Structure 1
Amino acid sequence: MDDVETRELRYFVAVAEELHFGRAADRLGIAQPPLSRAIRRLEHRLGVPLLARTSRSVRLTPAGETLLHEGRAALNGVAAAVRRTRRAGRDTPALVLALKAGGDSGLLRAILRGYAERPGSVPVELVFSVHERAAMVRDGRADLALLHHPQNDLTGLDSAPLHTEPRMLALAEDHPLAARESITLADLDGLPMPRWPEAADPGPGPMVTEVGELLHLVVLGRAVSLVTESAARRPYAGVAYRPVVDAAPATLVVAWPEGSRSRRIAGFVEAARAVTSALSPG
């Protein structure tokens, strides 16, 4: 069987995500007839139908669902390989670390200093993102990311724990629960909890992509949110913080591509673990 080309995978993923040949063709910047022919050639070569077509709809077959999942991973892998190869070949090598502003539990300064003191260290470029940190590592835009477990989806990544802390509830100062000294998860039933794009369990509440957006919704009474204890130490006008006694803690982790053999990445992870271990109480 001939190899499947990345171009064909891109075509198929676009159709599978849009479930409409016209929209997929517009997205790809090509005409619809050659796109349809390319998908039929792909089905013929694979020997299985990928799409069930009628005059009014397009849906994925079980084989199509499998190729969508695997095809996305393959395209991400190709993109990641290209980006990492180019970065490795630069005249001045560097590591790219993705993080959320304020999402380092106050540890990043010490981690960067500890890493810089190691033989063979390279400059660390910081890229700030709330909702794409894990994706940036998966597709090669970043070498590492600071994330939280179990709150973030770590699929396709390896990780090491750095620091664990309790979680607090952020809520409006005039919210009825703000009168309490502490809160339980049962008290949050029915309250609007926000959804983060990279959350392992997104939940039903309003979608948010920035911390400022979230806190504004909290002040307006449109949302309440579980945040780390270190985040709660940064005041925001109109927001109160209360401990949630039975909430699972948040563990700050450093994450990197699954199965990576990069010595630079390993050096940064070792430095981060050594620094945070030394700073831990006891």
Structure 2
Amino acid sequence: MTDVDLRKLRYFVAVAEELHFGRAAERLHIAQPVLSRQIRALEHELGAQLFARTKRATELTAAGRQLLEDARPLISSAEALRRRVAQAARGPRTFTIGFMPGITVTPAVRAFEALRPDIEVEVLRTTTFDQVQVLYDGRADVSVVRLPIEQRGLSIRPLFEEPRLAILPADHRLAGKPSVDIGDLADEHLMQHPDQVPEWRDIAVEPRSGRSRRFSEVSSVEEKLEHVASGRGISILPLSVARFYQRADVSAVPVNDLAPNKISLAWLASRRSRAIQEFAALAGTVDWVMTR
């Protein structure tokens, strides 16, 4: 079998994510017949049908699902390689630290700059959806992440933990309480994926009632707070995030029986960078009190 063309893989991923050749072609800015030919060529190269096509739908086959799982990290690795080579060509050497909202990386940045004055340190704000992806695609060398995350292929170093709070509309029946139990929130609508708060997911009324509401994907803290303030639901946020994004139209209430949020440093286990190892060792000694 000939080597698989990364361009064809990118085309395949677009179709697999859209499950529609027309929309995928628009996303890729190419003609639909060209896209169809490229996918057929990829299927021929792999000796497997990737999509089951009918007049009404396009679906992934078992082979297609497997290729999608394997193609995404391969494409990300290729993009990361391109970024690192371009960075090396530009000089001076840079080191990028990803970080989630509410987390202050300043103490670690200053300590690392003192240790490695030859390296220019940059920071990159991430979200729940890309805090790990920035490592795979080369945008960041290390990422300060909020667990849980998919840890396959990563090295993880625990840093600290912090409580999580319920974020409620200011006029909510529980707003202003000294604290609540997770059971007090069982009949609320959660403005984030239930798996992010398993304590709520396991007792929640809405998923079992058949009246579960769906909103468009909410990725940023600012969007979550807008929805909460409008009375559309509640959110669970770490203490540092709740403090950083204080506003008069929402109330942050401690939740007694929620496990703390765990913050860790993550990097690709396959990378043998001296700078990454030095930063990882340093991060374990930094006082993260500014974030609490």
Deviates more, 1:71-80 or 1:176-185: 176-185
Structure 2 residue aligned with 1:184: 181
**Distance in structure 1 (CA, Å) of the matches to 2:197 and 2:275:** 28
1:194 and 1:205 in contact (8 A); partners too: no
One-letter amino acid of the structure 2 residue matched with residue 276 of structure 1: D
The TM-score normalised by the length of structure 1 is: 0.85
Residue 149 of structure 1, aligned match among 147, 150, 162:
147
Structure 1 residue aligned with 2:227: 217
**Distance in structure 2 (CA, Å) of the matches to 1:176 and 1:156:** 45
Structure 2 residue aligned with 1:75: 75
How far the C-alpha of 1:63 sits from its partner, in A, is 0.5
* Structure 1 residue ranges without an equivalent (≥5): none
Query: 1:103-123 deviations in whole A, cap 9, x for unaligned?
Result: 21x4x2221222222246622
Aligned pair 1:254/2:265, yes or no?
A: yes
One-letter amino acid of the structure 1 residue matched with residue 239 of structure 2: E
- Structure 2 CA distance for partners of 1:147 and 1:34, relative to 1, 3 Å: same
One-letter amino acid of the structure 2 residue matched with residue 211 of structure 1: V
- Structure 2 CA distance for partners of 1:109 and 1:16, relative to 1, 3 Å: closer
Residue 242 of structure 1, aligned match among 253, 274, 283:
253
Residue 168 of structure 2, aligned match among 154, 157, 171:
171
- Structure 2 CA distance for partners of 1:57 and 1:225, relative to 1, 3 Å: closer
Residue 287 of structure 2, aligned match among 267, 276, 280:
276
Aligned pair 1:265/2:276, yes or no?
A: yes
Q: Residue 176 of structure 1 aligns to a residue in which SS?
A: coil
Q: Residue 52 of structure 1 aligns to a residue in which SS?
A: strand
Structure 2 residue aligned with 1:43: 43
1:80 and 1:139 in contact (8 A); partners too: yes
- Structure 2 CA distance for partners of 1:171 and 1:155, relative to 1, 3 Å: farther
2:157 and 2:280 in contact (8 A); partners too: yes
1:97 and 1:127 in contact (8 A); partners too: yes
Pairwise CA RMSD: 2.6
Structure 1 residue aligned with 2:208: none
2:132 and 2:143 in contact (8 A); partners too: yes
**Distance in structure 1 (CA, Å) of the matches to 2:15 and 2:267:** 30
Query: How many equivalent pairs are there?
Result: 273
**Distance in structure 2 (CA, Å) of the matches to 1:199 and 1:137:** 21
**Distance in structure 2 (CA, Å) of the matches to 1:231 and 1:55:** 48
Structure 2 residue aligned with 1:2: 2
1:214 and 1:223 in contact (8 A); partners too: no
Structure 2 residue aligned with 1:18: 18
Residue 239 of structure 2, aligned match among 204, 217, 229:
229
* Structure 2 residue ranges without an equivalent (≥5): 202-212
The TM-score normalised by the length of structure 2 is: 0.83
- Structure 2 CA distance for partners of 1:178 and 1:23, relative to 1, 3 Å: closer
How far the C-alpha of 1:47 sits from its partner, in A, is 1.8
How far the C-alpha of 1:176 sits from its partner, in A, is 0.9
1:167 and 1:227 in contact (8 A); partners too: yes
**Distance in structure 2 (CA, Å) of the matches to 1:111 and 1:192:** 37
Query: 1:254-280 deviations in whole A, cap 9, x for unaligned?
Result: 222232211111111111111138x69
**Distance in structure 1 (CA, Å) of the matches to 2:115 and 2:5:** 42
Query: 1:185-221 deviations in whole A, cap 9, x for unaligned?
Result: 222223122227x9698x8764323222222322222
**Distance in structure 1 (CA, Å) of the matches to 2:197 and 2:153:** 13
**Distance in structure 2 (CA, Å) of the matches to 1:199 and 1:90:** 40
Identity of aligned residues (%): 39
2:191 and 2:227 in contact (8 A); partners too: no
How far the C-alpha of 1:247 sits from its partner, in A, is 0.7
How far the C-alpha of 1:45 sits from its partner, in A, is 2.3
2:77 and 2:136 in contact (8 A); partners too: yes
How far the C-alpha of 1:164 sits from its partner, in A, is 0.6
**Distance in structure 1 (CA, Å) of the matches to 2:123 and 2:78:** 23
Query: 1:55-84 deviations in whole A, cap 9, x for unaligned?
Result: 333221101111111112211111111112
